[in-house]
Amino acid sequence: MANRIGIHALVWVGGWSEAEARKAISSSAETGYDLIELAALDPGNFDAAMTKRLLTEYNLSAGVSLGLDYETDVSSDDDDIVAAGRARLELALNLVRDIGGDYLGGAIFSRLGRYTKPVTERGRANSVASMAWLADKAANYGVTLGMEFCNRYETNVINTTAQTLDFIADIDRPNVVAHLDTYHMNIEENSWREPVLAAAAAGKLGYVHVGESHRGQLGTGSIGWTEFFGALREVEYDGTITFESFSSEVVHPELSSNLSIWRNLWTDNIELATGARQFIRENYGS
């Protein structure tokens, strides 16, 4: 397979000053990755020109992911909150465009965090309409949107591949894809193979996060890697595979709290990144 192999920026840094950006981008390239995924919860505060310059210097691609908050939740019943969410998503899309990226994903369809009740019919409709609106804008820049279904503690809109495919069908835009994440699948799915086959059969398998069950080093938890990578090979998946791992060693002021990153799962991020890259190479071949 000729997959683009990525790594999440929070493996390296919690912020995005020029020094932090250089560390993250250079370290990603030096440890064998093709892409870095930027965590842009506040996309308006990213220096896109600086980021693009460093990406060019180190010959690295980039994607952008984020999760919305209470004030910008496009799955809300409140029209003002939905409008604020669309404004933030447009900033994120502009960031992808300005750094020369081609992917915007994450929990862009809802707030990233625990809900206390199911999504309402109106809230889901607002989310679908917002994703269609964003997809139309993204198409102008050649950007793909990824719906990253998350576990029940991080969203109430889509938690499984089947729900995600239904959601994408309602959006009905060609540049919207399913974003599968093994960490969330480990909680919500009952198979490692069938969701991959279902997304591929729908023509919507577009992005993959590989993360361990405890969010540490690959191969040290309970993820069914043989079945999962086998399914990707079976459908001849040639899209991006991004390694995602979090530890209290690197703290993002919002994301670390949203994801409940309380434990120090690793301290040496070079060792972590190198080991994960080797694990992917040995178990998938890319």
Q: What is the pLDDT along the chain (286 residues), one digit of tens a residue?
A: 589 999 999 999 989 999 999 999 999 999 999 999 999 989 999 999 999 999 999 999 999 999 999 999 999 999 999 999 999 999 999 999 999 999 999 999 999 999 999 999 999 999 999 999 999 999 999 999 999 999 999 999 999 999 999 999 999 999 999 999 999 999 999 999 999 999 999 999 999 999 999 999 999 999 999 999 999 999 999 999 999 988 766 666 566 666 766 667 768 899 999 999 999 999 998 8
Structure confidence at residue 264 (pLDDT): 77
51: tokens are: 């980021």
pLDDT tens-digit series, residues 84-109: 999 999 999 999 999 999 999 999 99
Supply the residues annotated as catalytic: 148, 244
Contacts of 200 (CB under 8 A, 6+ apart): 235, 237
CATH H-level, domain 5-283: superfamily: Divalent-metal-dependent TIM barrel enzymes (3.20.20.150)
Structure confidence at residue 247 (pLDDT): 77
